[in-house]
């Protein structure tokens, strides 16, 4: 039986063992089962049914009639309007001892999109204002979009985060740096955060910027190194197949 869906006939013993050792978040809702429609809906507040963007291959969203005049969440991030962005979630962030989010797009000064299959994500470095005002203390950069604007886009992201005193992990100037976990003592407990991403267009090389890849051997070495030292070891894995129920 599948560890998370309980579907018969789908045997995932390793995932089952992982689930039994982990905390499962089962109350998760999205506007669409695909990434692009969900992203557009969250960025604009317009449901996929109304905008007409229901798949990941879609026209430039600003050319869609229903979205041409809407105020986007990017503008709120630039202006630091955290109360509009997160609403009733904001008190949870501000009252937390430490809050981490996944930053799935680079913070850029100029557009420099790489050639790839799918959309290139990127927002202005000014959006750092929204992250800082939202009491976010660290971000995971291990994902498939962090290199959408090349090395320069990731560099400007790191520079913006450093200037705002927001910690980061899961990516870096080379593979060795990208593989380094974030080690943090919080309320006398040692936390280790590890970010890894599927191999797409964003993975770091030996001497090139990018995200920390899923590498079973290396990932296991890092986990074994820290699991006996840390009070809490948290792995943030970015990947998966869309439209699949498991």
Mean pLDDT by 10 residues, the chain (246 residues): 59 76 74 85 89 77 83 92 92 94 95 89 95 96 96 98 98 97 97 94 96 93 92 90 55
Closest CA relative to residue 123, chosen from 142, 93, 145, 144 = 145
| CA 50 – CA 73 distance, rounded (Å) | 18
> What pLDDT score does 241 carry?
62
pTM of this structure: 0.80
> What pLDDT score does 1 carry?
42
> What pLDDT score does 93 carry?
92
Q: Would you say the C-alpha torsion 133, 138, 139, 141 has a positive or negative sign?
A: positive
> What pLDDT score does 58 carry?
66
What is the enclosing helix (H) or strand (E) of 123? strand 123-124
Q: What is the DSSP string of 135-193?
A: T--EEE--STTTTTTHHHHHHHHHHHHHHTT-EEESEESSHHHHTPPEEEEETTEEEEE
CB 195 within 8 A of CB 186: no
């Amino acid at each position: 039986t599948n560890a998370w869906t309980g579907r018969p006939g789908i045997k995932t013993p390793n995932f089952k063992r992982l689930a039994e050792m982990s905390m499962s978040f089962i109350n998760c809702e999205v506007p669409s089962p695909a990434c692009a429609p969900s992203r557009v809906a969250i960025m604009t507040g317009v449901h996929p049914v109304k905008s007409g963007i229901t798949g990941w291959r879609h026209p430039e969203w600003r050319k869609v009639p229903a979205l041409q005049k809407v105020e986007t969440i990017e503008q709120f991030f630039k202006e630091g309007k955290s109360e509009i962005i997160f609403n009733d979630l904001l008190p949870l962030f501000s009252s937390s001892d430490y809050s981490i989010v996944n930053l799935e797009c680079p913070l850029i000064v100029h557009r420099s999109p790489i050639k790839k299959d799918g959309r290139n994500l990127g927002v202005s470095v000014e959006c750092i204002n929204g992250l800082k005002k939202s009491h976010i203390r660290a971000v995971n950069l291990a994902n498939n979009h962090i290199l959408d604007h090349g090395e320069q886009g990731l560099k400007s992201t790191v520079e913006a985060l450093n200037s705002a005193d927001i910690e980061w992990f899961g990516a870096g100037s080379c593979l060795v740096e990208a593989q380094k976990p974030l080690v943090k003592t919080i309320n006398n407990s040692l936390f280790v955060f590890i970010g890894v991403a599927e191999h797409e267009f964003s993975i770091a090389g030996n001497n090139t910027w990018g995200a920390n890849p899923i590498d079973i051997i290396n990932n296991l070495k890092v986990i074994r190194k820290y699991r006996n030292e840390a009070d809490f070891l948290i792995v943030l894995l970015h990947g998966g197949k869309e439209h699949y129920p498991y």
